[in-house]
Amino acid sequence: MTEPVKESATILDATAGNRMMWRTKEDSRILWIDIEPDLTITPDILLDCTDTKFEEKRFNLIVFDPPHIVGGRKYGSVFSTPNMTEQGKKWRPGRSVPAYYGSDKYQTRNELLSFITKAEKEFYRILSDNGVLFIKWNEVTIPLEEILGIFSKWKIMIKIPVKKIKNEDTFTYWLLLMKDIANPLISESINIIRSETIKPLENW
Ligand SMILES: C[S@@+](CC[C@H](N)C(=O)[O-])C[C@H]1O[C@@H](n2cnc3c(N)ncnc32)[C@H](O)[C@@H]1O
């Protein structure tokens, strides 16, 4: 029988990749999972986030940075190369930092939408009632509105658009969604910082 991994962790990174977005790369409170076995930073558990088998309501926070590009071939480009040493060999320096995007995982737009639909269902099950879901989404393949349609049972608390790349029209969004709001006071105060009106941050 395999040993239980980080049994007390209440934060889940459901699509951990190489943990590029994290300042801390190791913490007993955070469980990093991913479906890709060739990553440089091996996930705590190699696992499909749409079917985790975790107990209901286990996590207080789920971080979800899914692939947003489709149709990639594994190792076909720098962004579909999970191993950072291999990425480095392909990289022409001076543009930005290479990162694995998982574009090899879903070949069509519909496959990606189907993955996100299944993930939403699983996150709703394993997140505590007042837990929050932190999502990063880039609109290059699918507009944010379509993704938010999948998350109709969730309340948008924070929405931050970031136009990161010069001369590109697509935005990356950072969103904080809440599954359920039992306490109206919390709901009200968080709504004050609901940021529909925040202007895109250039050069962030
Ligand atoms: C945009 S990358 C994440 C990058 C990561 N946030 C980082 O900081 O390095 C998307 C990740 O989702 C993973 N992924 C795709 N489908 C998955 C699934 N069904 N379950 C778990 N991870 C999945 C990919 O393998 C890839 O590592």
Q: Is the CB of 102 under 6 A from ligand 1?
A: yes
- pLDDT surpasses 80 at 201: no
Average pLDDT, the chain: 88
Q: Which of 18, 105, 118 to mutate to test the pocket of ligand 1 (most atoms within 8 A of CB)?
A: 105
pLDDT digits (tens, 9 = 90+) for 153-195: 999 999 999 876 666 677 899 999 998 665 555 555 554 444 4
pLDDT digits (tens, 9 = 90+) for 7-61: 999 999 999 999 999 999 999 999 999 999 999 999 999 999 999 999 999 999 9
Where along the chain do its domains lie? 11-202
Q: Is the CB of 58 under 6 A from ligand 1?
A: no
Residue type, 175: L
- pLDDT surpasses 90 at 135: yes
Q: How far is the CA of 157 from the centre of ligand 1 (A)?
A: 23
Is 0.85 topped by the overall pTM? Answer: yes
φ, ψ at 171 (rounded to 5°): -105, 150
CA distances (Å), origin 97, targets 29, 38, 51, 73, 119: 27, 19, 31, 20, 28
pLDDT digits (tens, 9 = 90+) for 66-90: 999 999 999 999 999 999 999 988 8
- pLDDT surpasses 70 at 196: no
Residues in contact with 94: Cβ distance below 8 Å, sequence separation at least 6, in sequence order:
none
Q: How far is the CA of 102 from the centre of ligand 1 (A)?
A: 6
CA 107 to chain centre: 18
Q: How far is the CA of 17 from the centre of ligand 1 (A)?
A: 5
The CATH code of the domain at 11-202 is: 3.40.50
Q: Is the CB of 44 under 6 A from ligand 1?
A: no
Percentage of the chain lying above the pLDDT 90 cut: 75
Q: What is the pLDDT at residue 72? A: 97
- pLDDT surpasses 90 at 96: no
Exposure pattern of 131-143 as b/e (b: 16+ CB <10 Å)?
Answer: bbbbbbbbbebbe
Q: What is the pLDDT at residue 144? A: 95
Q: Is the CB of 34 under 6 A from ligand 1?
A: yes
